[in-house]
């Protein structure tokens, strides 16, 4: 069901400031920015082959990313797997003992449906499943 790593989420304090590294040092091209209201974040996407990097800047102090930054500073925040069957993916995760943050998918960036698994049940890696109706 998992098709590939879709993206790696990276928490940053400011996308504007982070651009210098991703665009000038690495030479990546920003594919676009989007604010995701449901997650209280502003995002910027970069393609690296088939995988994307998603920069995450909190838009509110209540954002999960704001809490992460306060605790850890900037860095890798989550890994997102593209699935072709979100319902089965979540059932399989729950049946194998993972703790679902989202029992049902919610709206994410890029018109995708997303659902997260709690990092305490996934070897410490905040895990996202994402699905897009093509
Ligand atoms: N990766 C690994 N561990 C993490 C983590 C992360 N990104 N975020 C939190 N944790 C750990 C914490 O270190 C903490 O561990 P300890 O108890 O050992 O200290 C534990 O999980 C609980 O964390 P917390 O700081 O107390 O935060 P909360 O429990 O309030 O929230 C979580 C944690 C994962 C439930 C919350 O961040 C969440 O719901 N995340 C899913 C949604 C999300 O992250 N949205 C932003 C991205 C959106 C997008 O990609 O568009």
Per-residue pLDDT of the chain (134 residues; tens, 9 = 90+): 999 999 999 999 999 999 999 999 999 999 999 999 989 999 999 999 999 999 999 999 999 999 999 999 999 999 999 999 999 999 999 999 999 999 999 999 989 999 999 999 999 999 999 999 77
Model confidence pTM above 0.95: yes
Going from the Cα of 41 to the center of ligand 1, the distance in angstroms, rounded, reads: 14
Domains of the chain: total: 1
CA distance 30 to 23: 7
Ligand 1 touching residue 58 (CB < 6 A): no
How distant, in Å, are the alpha carbons of 27, 63, 130, 132 from that of 108?
26, 14, 8, 10
CATH of the domain at 23: 3.10.180.10
Owning domain of residue 90: 2-132
């Amino acid at each position: 069901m998992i098709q590939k790593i879709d993206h790696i989420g990276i928490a940053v304090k400011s996308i504007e400031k982070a651009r210098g590294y991703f665009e000038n040092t690495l030479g990546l091209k920003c594919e676009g920015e989007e604010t995701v209201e449901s997650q209280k974040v502003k995002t910027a996407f970069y393609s690296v082959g088939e995988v994307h990097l998603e920069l995450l800047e909190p838009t509110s102090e209540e954002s999960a990313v704001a809490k992460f930054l306060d605790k850890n500073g900037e860095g890798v925040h989550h890994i997102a797997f593209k699935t072709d069957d979100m319902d089965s993916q979540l059932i399989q995760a729950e049946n194998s003992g993972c703790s679902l943050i989202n029992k049902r998918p919610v709206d994410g960036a890029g018109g995708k449906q997303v659902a997260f698994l709690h990092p305490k049940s996934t070897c410490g890696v905040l895990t996202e499943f994402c699905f897009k109706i093509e």
